[in-house]
């Protein structure tokens, strides 16, 4: 990715207070290193100069568990106004300089995804953390993001229940020799496990579930329209079936999840000055830094010929972590989407008016004081 790189190293003299003045007092990320240029730590911050002092000034850092006194003697920096940009830059440079830090950060997933793939021998809806994606052959059958593991699991359960997919996977893997569960007796499952339904037919129903996960808003709108049409025609049985379908798929309502394979997004984040935005184009497996400070009306032209190829390069841990970064931004609660956190994740393709409106919204939110910075 063509992201900004670090400045030259600023070296510190414990006896010279002025050496800290060479570090900008602005937001960004800092790479601390030894005299020999060996990386020691990489951190994101809202004030690079203050960070450097609290890690390297003996008067402030000595005795602190966060002290780098004696371990690092220099710092390299990248200025980045928005938290979204800082988090992405941290990921990219941590993977390159200190992979163990990136691995440690991945232990707390920033968002979750859901996999349901009819190509599997025995399809099952499974929540996945971003790093889990790196072990997959491709991103087909992966949906998200969801803000929590519970949210991803509920989406899978909703589709399973609404479309009467197999609820007991340990029986499905025994097909066609399993003893069907009570859902068959209730008329809630065609029972592929005991051979009553062929696996080909079952896979077709799983594919329908995948379509629901890929575009839940459209499918719920269609079900609502069908329910109203049936009620108008006094076909209350059909109307009731659609009403039940809507009730069972309610956990899908309001999510930002979509199919990840082939998906493309534009991340618009706050920048400095506040009437500018940072623009990053993303596909499911790549990202491209387009601008660190563009006016809102330039966003459509920046995206014109600069969107990453949505192909399928290897799903490395770095690409998985970038998807986690993207998912976390897409799920950001409105009450936190202000100040330096201000950003918008826009699904592509989108028209110029939508992109400009999203960018102007980021500019407005960036000028608001956040509850937490």
Q: Kindly list the domain boundaries of the chain, sorted by start residue.
A: 10-79, 142-211, 259-366
Sequence-distant (6+) residues with CB within 8 A of 98 are 39, 41, 42
Biggest CA pair distance of the chain: 87
Which one, of 330, 344, 370, lies nearest residue 147 by Cα? 330
- pLDDT of 371 reads 45
- pLDDT of 312 reads 60
> Domain 10-79 is of which CATH architecture?
3-Layer(aba) Sandwich (3.40)
Q: pTM for this one?
A: 0.91
Which one, of 10, 49, 64, 50, lies nearest residue 33 by Cα? 10
Element of type H or E holding 10: strand 10-11
| Range 16-25 contact pairs with CB under 8 angstroms and sequence separation of 24 or more | 20/49, 20/52, 20/53, 20/57, 21/49, 23/48, 23/49, 23/52, 23/75, 23/77, 24/48, 24/49, 24/77, 24/79, 25/49, 25/50
Taking the chain (373 residues) in runs of 10, the rounded mean pLDDT of each run is 81 69 90 92 93 85 77 91 92 94 94 97 97 93 96 97 95 95 93 96 96 95 95 95 95 91 91 88 80 91 68 79 94 88 91 94 84 47
Peptide bond into 39 cis (omega under 30): no
Sequence-distant (6+) residues with CB within 8 A of 368 are 338, 339, 342
- pLDDT of 8 reads 84
């Amino acid at each position: 990715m063509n992201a900004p790189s670090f400045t030259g190293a600023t070296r510190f003299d414990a006896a010279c207070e002025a050496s800290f003045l060479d570090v900008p007092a602005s937001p960004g990320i800092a790479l601390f290193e030894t005299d020999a240029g060996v990386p020691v730590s990489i951190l994101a911050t809202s004030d690079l100069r203050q960070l450097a002092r609290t890690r390297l000034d003996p008067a402030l850092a000595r005795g602190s568990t966060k002290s780098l006194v004696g371990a690092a003697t220099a710092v390299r920096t990248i200025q980045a106004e928005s938290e979204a940009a800082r988090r992405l830059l941290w990921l990219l440079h941590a993977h390159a300089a200190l992979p163990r830090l990136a691995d440690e950060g991945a232990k707390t997933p920033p968002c979750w995804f859901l996999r349901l793939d009819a190509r599997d021998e025995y399809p099952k809806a499974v929540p996945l953390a971003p790093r889990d994606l790196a072990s997959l052959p491709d991103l087909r059958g992966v949906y998200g993001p969801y803000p929590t593991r519970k949210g991803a699991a509920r989406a899978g359960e909703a589709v399973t229940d609404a479309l009467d997919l197999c609820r007991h996977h340990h029986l499905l893997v025994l097909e066609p020799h399993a003893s069907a569960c009570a859902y068959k007796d209730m008329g809630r499952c065609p029972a592929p496990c005991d051979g009553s339904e062929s696996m080909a037919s079952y896979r077709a129903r799983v594919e329908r579930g995948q379509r629901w996960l890929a575009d839940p808003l459209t499918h719920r709108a269609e079900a609502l329209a069908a329910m109203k049409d049936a009620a108008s025609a006094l076909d209350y049985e059909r109307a009731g079936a659609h009403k039940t379908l809507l009730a069972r798929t309610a956990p899908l309502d309001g999510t930002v999840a979509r199919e990840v394979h082939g998906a493309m997004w534009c991340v618009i984040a706050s920048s400095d000055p506040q009437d500018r935005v940072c623009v990053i184009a993303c596909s499911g497996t790549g990202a491209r830094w387009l601008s660190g400070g563009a006016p809102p009306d330039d966003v459509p032209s920046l995206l014109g010929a600069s969107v990453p190829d949505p192909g399928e390069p290897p799903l490395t841990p770095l690409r998985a972590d970038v998807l986690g970064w993207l998912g976390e931004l897409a799920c950001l609660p409105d009450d936190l989407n202000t100040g330096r956190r201000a950003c918008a994740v826009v699904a592509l393709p989108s028209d110029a008016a939508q992109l400009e409106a999203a960018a102007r919204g980021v500019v407005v939110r960036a000028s608001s004081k956040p509850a937490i910075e």
